[in-house]
Structure 1
Amino acid sequence: MSSESVLIFDNQPISMPQVFRYLRDSRKLDGFIGDLARQFVIERSLQQGNLAVNPTAVEQSIIDFRLQQQLTDAAKFQTWLQENNLTFEVFYSQIANNFRFQQLKETHTSERIESYFAERKPYLNRAVISRLIVDNAELADELKSQLDEGAAFEQLVRDYSITDDRIMNGMMGPVPLARIPEVLREKVEPAAPGTLVGPLEIEGRWGIFRIEGFLNASLEDPQIRQTLQDELFEQWVSEQVKQIPIQIQFGDPQPPEPPDDQQ
């Protein structure tokens, strides 16, 4: 295997220029380069950021991992490392880098996260909705009339709804407003809990919806905060990637020089 080779297929060494040509010819080069550029930006930022890691936190994280994976026995843990082609030093380094990565995210998102949350909040708020779905408009109108006359929503759902959630009285659970079809969302957003909406035609079926309540997004929610932080960080990485000059050396073979007597 030559010094330039990075892979061997069927005993044939594959050089990096060949890898690039294969990716180019299969039209996968742009995605590959994008992934490499992203990792380049992150690695360089980690090296330049002078991000300190608390060894105690790393060790505790390793302990927690071993407990969760039932690897408290030293022999089992060593076997797991070998099966994953890791040494303890490499594993420790990976955990430490995870801490540095989180610090890097915090560094590049902390100043913007509150304003970004305010911008995204309308799409993060959730509605709790129950639904009654049927496959024709006439039945939907009839069921709405029964509801207006005092029929129990839950009973009609169990008797007529064609969706699997009928066994839970049509309860859809908390749904992000951004994921609700627009024709329904514009009715849901101003509605008060207990309001019936519909019938509405959505994707060839007719639905009657009951608004159970709303769950307003909060930046104190760890999941929401993490989601927004990830989005902001990816925006920052993309901006950095755009500023990187990228040159690709394919190493395409040159055509042979013609013999002297043909020149």
Structure 2
Amino acid sequence: MRLSRPSFQTLRPVLASALLALALTAACGRGDAEAPPEKDDLIVARVLDRSVWASDVRREAVAQGLVGEGEPLDVKSELFRRVLDEVVDQKLLAAEARRRGLDKSALAQRRLEAVHERILGDMLVESVVSGAVSDQAVERLYQEQQRRAQTTEEVRVRLILSHTKEQADAVVGVLGQGAAFEAVAAQRSVDDATRYSGGDLGYSTLEVLPAAYAAALRGQAPGAVVGPVQGEGGWAVLRIEDRRLETPPTLDQARPLIVRYLTYEGVRQLLEQLRGKASVEVFLNPAKPAAQAPARPGPVKPAPAVPVAASPAGTVAS
């Protein structure tokens, strides 16, 4: 199953700002510290009389890529304790920054505003995408792709590879006398990747095989031996073991790809709608803030006179 990924350069990974959400909470201290952020949440620590919840630690682990979105994190695990220590450190650093008044600077306010906007944007994306990526939507797209998919034939091939054409001709002669292909492959093939499995290349479509092999095998029935065929690695003798229609992926196998496609498609459509409604101006040559007008010049004062040294008196020649 092949789903084209939408091309939209402004897309961000969904919920990628969980770490920033934690940092904002620590830095700003907004909201009721004792209200559980999630259902059945647990208090796992207290820092300066403020609660640290299990969900805070899990969001930090997700932000660092240590666990997947929606994946549980056991509060008794070593990973949880390590991430909890990092969350505690972050809260201590944020509290000290507030004590020193660093949160009052214009730079801090600007950065906190940017974090706040990103969190709100991600929450909007989460709410919109959660409706688009439903079990019904996944199954509907899977069935649609199944209807459009073109059935491809796969072939199972065995290989005996030789360095020279004379060696490959000798292999054909031995096979013609009734020798088992698998045994000859184990004895004479120079392809170490397949010789110990009787030359078995497994199932594949002709498109993924070397062009010379595919040309020789096209139209051949199971059991046919073809070659010698010259390829990049030497001279090949091939036998077709089986032909079958390519097995399409199951719904469970295709689900991760479909969910990813629906997620990006949902975000793309949302951003297209928002950009279509909003007035957005982009300045590729940003204008600098207007410089302060120079003070109006006053009257020009005459330059002070520079005293000139008097010429020495003329000397009398002796």
TM-score of the superposed pair, with normalisation by structure 2: 0.44
In structure 1, the residue matched to 2:134 is 103
Deviations 1:11-59 (A, max 9, x none): xxxxxxxxxxxxxxxxxxxxxx95533758xxxxxxxxxxxxxx9xxxx
Aligned residue for 2:134, secondary structure, equals helix
Q: Cα distance, 1:138 vs. partner?
A: 1.8
**Is 1:114 the equivalent of 2:146?**
yes
Q: Cα distance, 1:133 vs. partner?
A: 0.8
Q: Is the CA contact (8 Å cut-off) linking 2:168 and 2:235 kept in structure 1? A: yes
Q: Is the CA contact (8 Å cut-off) linking 2:154 and 2:243 kept in structure 1? A: yes
Cα gap change, 1:75 to 1:239, in 2 (>3 Å): closer
In structure 1, the residue matched to 2:23 is none
**Is 1:126 the equivalent of 2:154?**
yes
Q: Cα distance, 1:170 vs. partner?
A: 1.0
Deviates more, 1:151-160 or 1:221-230: 221-230
Aligned residue for 1:114, secondary structure, equals helix
Q: Which runs of 5+ in 1 are unaligned?
A: 1-32, 41-54, 56-61, 86-92
Q: Cα distance, 1:171 vs. partner?
A: 1.2
Percent of aligned positions that are identical: 17
Q: Cα distance, 1:156 vs. partner?
A: 1.9
In structure 2, the residue matched to 1:78 is 80
In structure 1, the residue matched to 2:164 is 136
Specify the code of the residue in structure 1 equivalent to 2:159. Answer: R
Q: How does 1:159-238 map to 2 (within 5 A)?
A: 159-164=187-192, 165-219=194-248, 221-222=250-251, 225-226=254-255, 229=258
Specify the code of the residue in structure 2 equivalent to 1:190. Answer: G
Cα gap change, 1:168 to 1:232, in 2 (>3 Å): same
Deviates more, 1:201-210 or 1:187-196: 187-196
Structure 1 or 2: more helix by fraction: 1
Which of 32, 37, 44 is the aligned partner of 2:11? 37
Aligned residue for 1:74, secondary structure, equals coil
Alpha-carbon distance between aligned partners in 1 of 2:188 and 2:76, rounded to the nearest angstrom: 58
Deviations 1:188-244 (A, max 9, x none): 343222211211112251111111113422346347645884797699689969x79
Cα gap change, 1:114 to 1:210, in 2 (>3 Å): same
CA radius of gyration, larger in: 2
Alpha-carbon distance between aligned partners in 2 of 1:194 and 1:205, rounded to the nearest angstrom: 22
Q: Is the CA contact (8 Å cut-off) linking 1:109 and 1:233 kept in structure 2? A: no
Aligned residue for 2:201, secondary structure, equals strand
TM-score of the superposed pair, with normalisation by structure 1: 0.51
Q: Which runs of 5+ in 2 are unaligned?
A: 1-6, 15-38, 40-67, 88-122, 295-318
Q: Is the CA contact (8 Å cut-off) linking 2:228 and 2:237 kept in structure 1? A: yes
Q: Is the CA contact (8 Å cut-off) linking 2:157 and 2:200 kept in structure 1? A: yes
Alpha-carbon distance between aligned partners in 2 of 1:75 and 1:224, rounded to the nearest angstrom: 30
Specify the code of the residue in structure 2 equivalent to 1:112. Answer: E
Deviations 1:109-145 (A, max 9, x none): 246312332x2x22xx432211101121221122112
Q: Is the CA contact (8 Å cut-off) linking 1:197 and 1:210 kept in structure 2? A: yes
Alpha-carbon distance between aligned partners in 2 of 1:75 and 1:232, rounded to the nearest angstrom: 33
Cα gap change, 1:149 to 1:168, in 2 (>3 Å): same
Alpha-carbon distance between aligned partners in 2 of 1:79 and 1:180, rounded to the nearest angstrom: 50
Cα gap change, 1:39 to 1:235, in 2 (>3 Å): closer
Which of 167, 172, 180 is the aligned partner of 1:152? 180
Alpha-carbon distance between aligned partners in 2 of 1:202 and 1:221, rounded to the nearest angstrom: 35
Alpha-carbon distance between aligned partners in 1 of 2:262 and 2:204, rounded to the nearest angstrom: 25
Q: How many residues matched?
A: 191
